[in-house]
Amino acid sequence: MESEVTEPAARGEADGVVRGAELVDLARLYDEQVMLVTVPTPPGPDALRHAEALAAGALGHSSVKVATPDGVPDAGALRELAAADEEHAQAWVSYLVQVTGLFAELLGADVVGVRQVVAEGPHCPRFHVDQVLARGVLNVTGACTEWIGEADLDRSRLGHAGGPDDRTSGLVLRWDRVERAEPGTLAVFKGTAWPGAAERAIVHRSPPTDGGRRVVLTLDWLE
């Protein structure tokens, strides 16, 4: 069944996935065989309350370009993503500074694009690869991003080559081996622009709707 999703499994690293326990594990992204690294980056209680307030508000997305000289993000730009009239706004900004700084330092980025999405359903419903160098995804609340290991997919069936939907396309060989990120975990994917990753970039998607709302952050290297 499409809804079946595995728990974190030891096989992940063999499929190019590293589920790290500490922030230093992000550096594993530079291992040739690694396509995805996840590390826990949980929001504090006040930042989580702000995320929940965002989830209860208007659906949609907002994007900002954040200068990150020496890996230090411009908090002023990130402040645009907070609900200014909510009491825990500063905690949310501080959390955004933290995760944006991690991403910038990992890639040596001078400018990071940060997108904040509040959604009820999947905003990227089909399995796909990212046409970028690398992308960070952080599911703060709600159902989390899913991906498939290389052994469990037919990459030739990606997109329109596989027909109108993933359920019938033949892309997924084992639905019971689709994996899912954890809430409050930063996942950094290699995209097709990463040297050597054009044919191996992680195949992933937004999760099917579970009736709840999601607050998701995505981070992109811009400069």
pLDDT of residue 14: 65
| Lowest-confidence region among 142-146, 151-155, 158-162 | 158-162
Six token digits for residue 10 = 């030891």
> What is residue 165's predicted lDDT score, i.e. its pLDDT?
83
Closest by Cα among 171, 137, 182 to 40: 182
Contact 199, 155 (CB under 8 A): yes
For residue 181, CA distances in Å to 49, 66, 138 come to 21, 25, 9
Q: Is the pLDDT of residue 124 over 80?
A: no
The pTM for the full model equals 0.90
Q: Is the per-residue pLDDT at 133 higher than 50?
A: yes
For residue 167, the model assigns a pLDDT of 85
Mean pLDDT along residues 195-208: 92
pLDDT over 90 at 64, yes or no: yes
